[in-house]
Amino acid sequence: MKSTSGSAGAQKKKMQGYVGFSNYPNQVHRRSVKRGFNFTLMVVGESGIGKSTLINTLFDSKIFSDREEMPPSAEPTKGVDVTSMSADIQENGVKLRLTVVDTPGFGDSINNEDAWQPILENIESRFDAYLAQENRVNRSKISDNRIDAVIYFIKPTGHCLRAIDIEFMKRLHTKVNLIPIVAKADTLTAREMEQFKAKILADINYHGIQIFKPVSDEFDDPETVADNREILSKIPFAVIGSEKHVERPDGSQVRGRRYPWGIIEVENENHNDFVKLRQMLLRTHMEELKDSTDMVLYENYRTQKLLSMGHVQDNNVFREFNPLVQLEEERRAHEAKMQKMEAEMTAVFQQKVQEKESKLKQSEEELYARHKEMKTVLEKQRAELDEKKKRAEATARPITPMEQHATKGKKKNIFSGF
Amino acid sequence: MASNDVQDYVGFDTITQQMERKFLKRGFNFNVILVGESGMGKSTLVNSIFASHLIDSQGRRAAQEVIRKTTEIAPVTQTLEENGVRVRLTIVDTPGFGDQCNNEGCWVPVIKYIKDQHAAYLERELKPQRDRVIVDTRIHACLYFLNPGSRGLRPLDVEVLKRLTEVTNVIPVIAKSDSMTIEERTAFKRRIKEELAFHRIVVFPYACEDDSEEDRVLNASIRELIPFAVVGSEEVMELDGKLVRGRRHGWGVINIFDENHSDFVHLRNFMLRTHLSDLVEVTAQRHYEQFRTSQLRQIKELRAQQAAAAATGGPHAMPTQAPPQAPVANVMQHQPMTQV
């Protein structure tokens, strides 16, 4: 959001001495340094592709500890986990709260069709949390844990992007700043890497995927413009990571990987693009990433979300206020709403009545059926008892009047005892 | 035994030379299938092993190309000749394997193809009038490509290896091993061997009771190396005055023939120079025989079922499967592969 040039009324004045408002950026700087910054990074890639190593190398600290070795009998992780790790690091008095979000399990199963889903949900939930905080009554303390950038690790196959790469990037490129990198850059020779990068960019353009790119505008000095162009020429970055130091033939110690045929150095720009990645991510474009997350990605998300919830942009606020027209419109809108509600209610009412009717009918039928059943059972019982009575009368001796009295009274009981 | 030497020499030890001559005349078939995701280095490795451009990579080269939805089977046959020995070499590539988001069942076409070759051979064997030499299209070796950098075997690897080792000789390799340092390779190999043992996956070479002592030693040293960490290259370059195959990086040059750089030489010697006939024989003796036994047993059961049904007679006696018309011709629908 670049400031518009002064509106028609402002005049350009020249000052005769040093006033001092040029010190304003310094004041901003001092305040932000006091406050500290936070930066949230997410890493996505299959297991073993070098995510932890790269993060530890970028920030030169052991953010991620070495992964423990599980026995072969351990169950492989099902699905994708989203875990986060925070670290407070300080450099030259500037405090940074760095949060790295890891996604173990991505791309490791046999079926990875929905591997992107938990990740997208996590990103959106962070937006939701921020949205909720913004809508609070007391907004003095808002904690921002939105994802500022996603580093996506591409396997160095030498061919075009894999299905899972394209699927993931297409699903997420409008929600986060996407920074694809080629992992394990020591797999490919310089020429192979050039061709591979071209294929990746072709695939990205073909599928309309938006990745984060440094752009220069007219306010930037020529040095920055040149830097940006250099960075842009290396995208996607082909990097390696290493936490270990190795000794070069000339005795110096560098971070790198030692092979029987040579040593690849992390910070040697001829060997890989690590330096460019670090430069873009931390030294020059961190603010831009945060800005883009806040102003572009988050705003888009918020707009979509509110629209889908039924809020309507009310542009009437900007037009001239005509009370009569306003009232008329409001009345109409209100009536329409009332009608709609009425219609809905009648519909619901009808439906409920129908349901109740059918239920009652059903229970009526059931009762009837039960009644019939009981009746037949009763008939049967009565028939049985009649039979028994006949048999009993046939075999039994004639009853004495005293017994008759007794049995008459007990008749019911005996029979009801069956 | 000075007196008896000359007269008592019978001469059957020339059988080896006779066999060699026959081999030279007839030539032989060697069929290899490559199983692994796109970009693992399959084509490059095969072209390096046989020192000629045999197959083209089937990977996606342009953004407009559509990603394959299933595993395809792409066999390529060529005749190579070396010192008068001719080999009909068939390389079967499997483009599309493991390349989709959902890879459930991506191994089914591969297993089916291998079994089909066994079935075809069985059919030709069972014919009343057989060809003099049955053309052998059975798969003698399967190179299974592991992913460098993974913790160990991935779930897909476990599933596929279990099924592959039941039907063919499997040789696990890591093709792009130049991204792993020597320590990483050692740790990875150890881990893979542990997991193979845990899942009871048996890879080639197999131990056999009638192995000689030197065979055992050789096999043991081969098993040490598994999975082979190799680097392939079709580029020939000059290194220290010699012409080698290698890869030129900004930080060093890899010579694939150098034992310190990769196990390529060991793999090549293993596959071609020492165990080639083993691979062919074991395919015939072990995998093919297993297949044949199970097939013939199924046919027998089927016939028994039919006979039983016919004996009891009546419309209600229905055979559980479609009755075979003629025993030989029908073998080849080869009855349900319930477990693929």
Please name which of B22, B28, B133 lies closest in space to residue B81, comparing C-alpha atoms: B28
Integer Cα distance of B249 and B138 in angstroms: 40
Nearest to B340 by CA among B104, B38, B101, B32: B104
> Own/partner pairs for A265-273, CB < 8 Å, 24+ apart?
A265/B251, A266/A57, A266/A240, A266/A241, A266/A242, A268/B251, A270/B250, A271/A185, A271/A186, A271/A240, A271/B250, A271/B251, A272/A185, A272/A186, A272/A238, A272/A239, A272/A240, A273/A181, A273/A185, A273/A234, A273/A237, A273/A238, A273/A239
* pLDDT confidence of residue A263: 92
pLDDT given at position A56: 92
Enter the pTM of the model: 0.77
Option in B38, B61, B251 nearest A262 (CB): B251
Q: Chain A: nearest CA to B115, how far in angstroms?
A: 23
> Measured between beta carbons, which residues in chain B are less than 8 angstroms from residue A239?
none
Chain A residue with minimum CA distance to B149 = A48
For residues A298-316, average pLDDT: 78
A245 touching B, CB under 8 A?
Answer: no
Among A residues 253-272, those touching chain B with beta carbons less than 8 Å apart: 257-265, 268, 270-271
Q: What count of other Cβ atoms lies within 10 Å of the Cβ of residue A17? A: 5
pLDDT band at A94 (very low <50, low <70, confident <90, very high): confident
Which range among A153-157, A382-386, B32-36, B241-245 shows the weakest confidence by mean pLDDT?
Answer: B241-245
3-state secondary structure of A83: strand
Q: Which of the four pLDDT bands, split at 50, 70 and 90, describes residue A394?
A: confident
Confidence of residue A8 (pLDDT cuts 50, 70, 90): low
pLDDT of residue B324: 42
Whether the predicted pLDDT of A236 surpasses 90: yes
Please state the length of chain B: 340
pLDDT band at residue A317 under the 50/70/90 scheme: low
* A68-72, A92-96, A125-129, A343-347: segment of lowest average pLDDT: A68-72
Tell me whether residues A190 and B249 touch, CB distance under 8 A.
yes
Residue A411: in which H helix or E strand, if any?
Answer: helix A401-416
DSSP category for residue A73: T
pLDDT for the residue B305: 92
Contact check, Cβ <8 Å, A259/B181: yes
Cβ-defined contact of B63 to A202 (cutoff 8 Å): yes
> Residue type at B315?
P
Q: Is the dihedral of CA B213, B217, B219, B223 positive or negative?
A: positive
Asked if the C-beta of A273 comes within 8 angstroms of chain B's C-beta atoms, the answer is no
- Alpha-helical runs (H) found in chain B: 5-8, 15-26, 42-49, 108-126, 155-167, 182-198, 213-225, 264-268, 276-282, 289-312, 327-331
Residue B9 tokens, joined: 């020499």
Nearest CB neighbour to B149, from listed A184, A259, A261: A184
Collect all residues of chain B within an 8 Å Cβ-Cβ radius of residue A47.
150-151, 154
Read off the pLDDT of each residue in A160-188 and give the average, rounded to a whole number.
Answer: 93
Pick among B251, B256, B264 to test the A interface (most A CBs inside 10 A): B251
Least confident window among A85-94, A150-159, A307-316? A307-316
Q: Determine the pLDDT at residue A169.
A: 95
Distance CA B71, CA B114 (A): 14
Measure in Å the smallest separation between the Cα of A127 and chain B Cα atoms.
27
| Cβ contacts of A159 on chain B, cutoff 8 Å | 38-39, 57, 59-61
**SS3 for B185?**
helix
Residue A158 sits at the chain B interface (C-beta within 8 Å): yes
Digit-coded pLDDT (tens) for A325-370:
778 888 999 999 999 999 999 999 999 999 999 999 999 999 999 9
Between A411 and B269, the more confident residue is B269
Residues 6+ apart with CB under 8 A from A162: A155, B38, B39, B67, B99
Compare CB distances from A262 to B155, B159, B249 and report the shortest one's residue. B249
Indicate yes or no: CB of A111 within 8 angstroms of CB of B102: yes
Going by pLDDT thresholds of 50, 70 and 90, the confidence category of residue A320 is low
Residues of chain B falling short of pLDDT 50: 1-2, 317-340
Chain B interface includes A314 (CB < 8 A): no
Q: What ipTM does this complex have? A: 0.83
Question: What SS3 class is residue A249?
Answer: coil
> Are the C-beta atoms of A122 and A82 separated by less than 8 Å?
yes
Instruction: Say if CB B171 and CB B204 are below 8 A apart.
Output: yes
Size of interface A-B (CB pairs under 8 A): 134
In angstroms, the Cα distances linking A169 to A103, A172, A175, A195, A273 are 15, 5, 10, 21, 21
Bridge partners of B244, per DSSP, are: B237
Give the amino acid at A67.
R
Among B157, B58, B63, B61, CA closest to B106 = B157
Give the Cα separation of B311 and B317 in Å (integer).
9
Mean pLDDT across chain A, nearest whole number? 86
Q: Is the pLDDT of residue A289 over 50?
A: yes
Give all strands of the β-sheet with A253-259 in edge-to-edge order: A245-247, A253-259, A262-265
- Are the CB atoms for B170 and A147 separated by under 8 Å? no
Task: Report whether B57 contacts B41 (CB < 8 A).
Answer: no
Residue A189 confidence (pLDDT): 92
| A256 CB-near residues (< 8 Å, 6+ apart) | A242, A244, A245, A246, A263, A264, A265, A266, A268
d(C-alpha B124, C-alpha B136), whole Å? 10
Chain A interface, best mutation among B181, B188, B193, B195, by max A CB count within 10 A: B181
Residue A163 — very low, low, confident or very high, per pLDDT cuts 50/70/90?
very high
Could you tell me the pLDDT band of residue A398, with boundaries at 50, 70 and 90?
Answer: low
- A188 to chain B, closest Cα gap in Å: 8
A319 contacts A326 by C-beta, under 8 angstroms: no
Q: Is the sign of the CA dihedral A43, A45, A47, A48 positive or negative?
A: negative
Bigger pLDDT: B291 vs A10: B291
**Cα distances (angstroms) measured from residue A196 to each of A260, B45, B156:** 25, 19, 26
| Mean pLDDT, range A82-101, rounded to an integer | 89
CB atoms under 10 Å from CB of A145, counted, come to 16
Contact check, Cβ <8 Å, A199/B65: no
Give strand pairing partners of B255: B246
Residue B19: both structure tokens together: 């066999």
Rounded distance between C-alpha atoms, residue A274 and residue A239, angstroms:
5
Which residue out of A70, A157, A166, A194 would a mutagenesis test of the B interface target, given it has the greatest number of B Cβ atoms within 10 Å?
A157
A115 lies within 8 A of chain B by CB: yes
Comparison of pLDDT for A318 and A267, the residue scoring more: A267
Residue A397 or residue B153, greater confidence: B153
A160 and chain B in contact, CB less than 8 A = yes
A291: contact with B, CB 8 A cutoff: no
Question: Would you state the pLDDT for residue A92?
Answer: 84
A157 pLDDT more than 50: yes
Q: Please state, in angstroms and rounded to a whole number, the distance separating the CA atoms of residues B269 and B198.
A: 28
Flag whether residue A199 sits within 8 Å of chain B, measured between CB atoms.
yes
Among candidate residues A193, A190, A192, the one with its CA nearest the CA of residue A181? A193
